[in-house]
Structure 1
Amino acid sequence: MNAKIHRHEFADKLTLADRLARAVAATLDAAVQARGKATLAVSGGSTPKTMFAVLAEQEIDWSKVTVTLVDERWVGADSDRSNARLVADHLLHHEARKATFLPLFDATHADDVDAALADVGARVDALGLPFDVVILGMGGDGHTASFFPGGDHLSEATDPAGRATVASMRADGAGEPRITLTLPRVLDTRALYLHIEGADKKDVLARAEAGEDLPIRSVLTHARVPVDVYWAP
């Protein structure tokens, strides 16, 4: 492993959600104070819902925060499979309703994710880099972002020297086609968090750290800042 890993383990998921939300808010607030703006890239799935609810109530200047996604299923925001809908339902409320949200799904190219890559990548690039905070999750198969084992563009998406901002991904475990930030964009951040829950995912992470060829290992190998792992049973 090349990256330094900071471990934060909690007795329960509620405590984890509270501590992670407060850590993220403090980092965003510091960015706003220092540079007048902040950027946050978040992941989907069921794991971050409670953390999003706590984060939404943190009293920072959300009007100067832009939120985007690490990855997205290629479905419209009205789908219950949409990460954009997840963020709208669980994060963009209370104080955080003032934030700007940049989706990755492009309705202009709803039938062809590959046709949307240039436009979506340009919009992400316009946010400026580095991100201030990136929050990753991880599946039981070791995927993070949409870096799925067996994915059709996995090697390109996880190339640490790649120049693309986003990539498409199709894989047996992915369901719909997806769009994802590439590894270099995920890692171009001032703070990097990995939020996982359950003994099974802790074991998967340990396997990756031990050298098993799982997609999460690309993050652990190439991260430019410490990876703060937040875990609860």
Structure 2
Amino acid sequence: MNAKVNRHEFADRLTLGDTLAKDIAGKLDAAVKARGKASLAVSGGGTPKLMFAVLAEQEIDWSKVSITLVDERWVDESSDRSNAALVKHHLIAHEAHVATFLPLFDKAHADDVDAALADVGKRVDALGKPFDVVVLGMGPDGHTASFFPGGDHLAQALDLDGKQSVLSMRADGAGEPRITLSLPRVLDTRALYLHIEGNDKKAILDKVIGGEDLPIAAVLKQDRTAVDVYWSP
């Protein structure tokens, strides 16, 4: 297991969300002051909603912050399955409403995620490398980003020597086709967080740390980038 995995446990989700949001805001603020801009890649799902709400109210120069997604279902923002829609509603608001948001879904290739990869990859890379902050989540099957067990491009996505910034992913547990940052692109960040909540997620984390081979293990076992795990019941 990566010696750079730092685990932080909180009594409740409110405390976790408040602490994580302020930690992220501090890193974005420092990036803006040091380099004139900052970049943030976030995950969707229900877990980060509370954290997003707190983060959106932090008083930093959001006009110099670019936000994108770690992964996305290949659906339009009109779908209730869209991570972009979730982020726009919960994070691109309040103080953060002036941030630049880069979605991963490409309407020009709405019927073919693979046809969109080159263009989307260029747009993501135009944000600059490394990211300042990346926030991952984890599903009950041990997936993170769209690194699903049995995914058709899982090996490519987890290849630490891979050159693609984004890949498509199809898997039985994924529902729609997906687009996802590759593991090397996720790890190319100044700060990497894994945000999980619930005893079921903690049990999965403990299994992986104990040696079970689930996709999240690729993030936790690499020694390229430190990972801060934020958990609450």
TM-score category, normalised to shorter length: over 0.9
Which residue pairs with 1:42 in the alignment? 42
Gaps of 5+ in 2: none
Instruction: Tell me the distance in 2 between the aligned counterparts of 1:165 and 1:34.
Output: 25
Q: Map Cα deviations across residues 172-196 of structure 1 (whole Å, 9 max, x no partner).
A: 1101000000000000000000000
Q: Map Cα deviations across residues 190-232 of structure 1 (whole Å, 9 max, x no partner).
A: 0000000011111101111122110001011225232111100
Matched, 1:114 2:97: no
CA contact (8 A) 1:147 1:154 kept: yes
Instruction: Tell me the distance in 1 between the aligned counterparts of 2:202 and 2:161.
Output: 28
Amino acid at match of 1:13: R
Which residue pairs with 1:179 in the alignment? 179
Instruction: Give 1:60-99 correspondences, 5 Å limit.
Output: 60-99=60-99
Amino acid at match of 2:6: H
Q: Map Cα deviations across residues 97-116 of structure 1 (whole Å, 9 max, x no partner).
A: 01000010000000000000
Instruction: Give 1:117-196 correspondences, 5 Å limit.
Output: 117-196=117-196
TM-score using structure 1 length: 0.99
Runs of 4+ displaced beyond 2 Å? none
Which residue pairs with 2:211 in the alignment? 211
CA contact (8 A) 1:3 1:222 kept: no
C-alpha distance 34-227 of structure 1, shift in aligned 2 (>3 A): same
TM-score using structure 2 length: 0.99
CA contact (8 A) 1:3 1:225 kept: no
Instruction: Tell me the distance in 2 between the aligned counterparts of 1:4 and 1:135.
Output: 16
Instruction: Tell me the distance in 2 between the aligned counterparts of 1:41 and 1:58.
Output: 17
Which piece of structure 1 moves more, 181-190 or 2-11? 2-11
Instruction: Tell me the distance in 1 between the aligned counterparts of 2:157 and 2:61.
Output: 33
Matched, 1:221 2:228: no
CA RMSD of aligned residues (A): 0.7
The number of equivalent residue pairs is 233
Aligned-pair CA distance for 1:70: 0.1
CA contact (8 A) 1:40 1:68 kept: yes
Instruction: Tell me the distance in 2 between the aligned counterparts of 1:44 and 1:91.
Output: 11
